[in-house]
Amino acid sequence: MNLLLIRHAIAEEQSAKQWPDDADRPLTQRGIRRFRTAALGLGTLVPEVDRLTSSPFVRAHQTATILEDQLGWPEIELHPQLAAGAPLAGAIALLAECEPRATVVVVGHEPTMSLLASAYIGGTASQLTFDWRRGGAALIEFERAPAANGGALRWFLPPRLLRTLAAD
């Protein structure tokens, strides 16, 4: 399986006044614009995917929508297991159900993206640290279904590099 982990694009700053529920906090216009370009760069690296999953939080869903629209990737599946603050075990269980030969995209939040990557390539959810920029992505490859310490990190790219790939 190929697992593409993507942190949501640049979102509005937290504000209890504007978004009493942080799940409703959207992307900024700059975040939308920049990630549209980054998505094109991602498309050069991963032209086809089998599943596009996302946190149900607005900012992650908007990021996944850009991927769906820009790249023609499959319809987005929203999963509460991928929400910010959800227990990591839920995301791991969700991914364990995926077809072993599939390419699966997860659009989510920090620290969940780093914890998943660490668990899959390092064996535990706290061994490795990543400087995961908003709109950044990592590809982890498994010989079979995803399992702790069973993945190989193929690449980890910040959004700036993804945007550069789109320009080339």
pLDDT tens figures, 50-98: 999 999 999 999 999 999 999 999 999 999 999 999 999 999 999 999 9
The amino acid present at 29, given as its one-letter code, is Q
Domains and CATH numbers, the chain: 2-9+21-167 (3.40.50.1240)
What does the pLDDT look like over 57-66, one tens digit per residue? 999 999 999 9
pLDDT-derived band at 122, boundaries 50, 70, 90? confident
DSSP 137-155: EEEEEESSS--TT-EEEEE
Is the whole-model pTM more than 0.75?
yes
